[in-house]
């Protein structure tokens, strides 16, 4: 099964972790990096990949 490019990742969108859990735990779904920048705003924990900029609210 080729599911790798099943869905294009929009880097301008903030993905919800509940809907889109990590394909590989602790790794970016887009570039497979494990280097993240984290922030909390309004009670929402936001994780952003430092390499490609993909964002997920955890």
What is the per-residue pLDDT for 4? 47
Contact of 20 with 54, CB cutoff 8 Å: no
Tally of structural domains, the chain: 1
Give percent of the chain with pLDDT exceeding 70. 88
23 to 5, 9, 28: CA distances (angstroms):
13, 13, 8
Report if residue 57 sits inside a domain.
Answer: yes
Give me the domain span that covers residue 40.
Answer: 11-21+33-58
Confidence band of 31 (pLDDT split at 50, 70, 90)? very high
Write the CB contacts of 38 (distance below 8 Å, at least 6 apart in sequence): 45, 46, 47, 48
27-46 burial, b if ≥16 CB within 10 A, otherwise e? ebbbeeeeebeeeeeeeeeb
Residue 43 falls inside a structural domain: yes
Residue 54 lies in a domain: yes
């Amino acid at each position: 099964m080729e599911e790798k490019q099943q869905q294009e990742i929009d880097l301008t969108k903030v993905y919800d972790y509940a809907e889109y859990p990590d394909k590989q735990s602790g790794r970016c779904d887009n570039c497979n990096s494990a280097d993240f920048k984290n922030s909390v705003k309004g009670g929402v924990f936001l994780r952003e990949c430092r390499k490609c900029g993909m964002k997920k609210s955890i």
